Amino acid sequence: MRHKAASVSTAKPEQGSLELTEELVRIRAYRLYEERGCEHGHDLEDWLQAEAEIFGKKLAAAAEAEDAEDGSRTTVA
């Protein structure tokens, strides 16, 4: 019996995956803080930028995986 893979949009993330993603965001936000010279007062900005970077990469990877499942290939320049 074959199981159909869940769609990225309907798949329920596992707890470990969510914890790992949060840790990646936390690390990136701290690096942004360090890159600014440890200047205080930009914590929310750093967090939101880190989320955008991390989730942007995850969404791009998910879209590529979906294209590969469909048998089509999209080239990004």
pLDDT by residue, tens only, the chain of 77 residues: 454 444 444 555 677 888 999 999 999 999 999 999 999 999 999 999 999 999 888 778 888 888 888 765 555 55
Domain range for 49: 15-67
d(CA 54, CA 24): 7
Please indicate, yes or no, if residue 37 is contained in any of the structural domains: yes
Handedness of CA 9, 14, 15, 19 (dihedral sign): negative
Is 10 part of any domain? Answer: no
Domain count, the chain: 1
Residue 2 lies in a domain: no
pLDDT number for residue 13: 61
Alpha-carbon span 69 to 24, nearest angstrom:
27
- How much is the pLDDT for 1? 47
Residue 38 is classified by DSSP as S
